[in-house]
Amino acid sequence: MRGRGKSKLEARVSISDLARMYDRRNAGKSPSHRYKNGDLPVGRGSLNKNFTVSQGDTRLARLKARASGIRYALQTEAIDRRKTRELEQVLKNLELAIRGMEQSLKES
């Protein structure tokens, strides 16, 4: 006999899982790993620690794709009210970030 709570599968679905599901369903393959030929860095010391996040077209495209995946999940998936509110808040924040990045790209 099952309890009234969520099943374990429903409890483990995250936003990144939904975005990955959307990417696989609509874009074919998911993006490949950045170390294609097995050239992994030897240790953490070999990674560049003084880096800046570029706010270019690539990052903007990734944010738009993630927002699109969340919109898709909100329309098609049967999600409980709490998860829906969480996804809507994340979508709102993504849309604000997208607008800000588009504005900063126009200025530069």
| CA R_g for the chain | 18
Contact 32/78 with Cβ under 8 angstroms?
A: no
Environment class of 15 (CB within 10 Å of its CB; exposed 0-12, middle 13-18, buried 19+) = middle
Q: pLDDT tens digits, residue range 18-63?
A: 777 777 776 655 455 555 555 555 555 555 555 555 557 888 999 9
Q: pLDDT tens digits, residue range 74-86?
A: 998 888 899 999 9
Q: Locate the domains of the chain by residue range.
A: 15-23+55-108
Environment class of 48 (CB within 10 Å of its CB; exposed 0-12, middle 13-18, buried 19+) = exposed
With CA atoms as reference, report the closest residue to 66 among 9, 6, 10, 26: 26
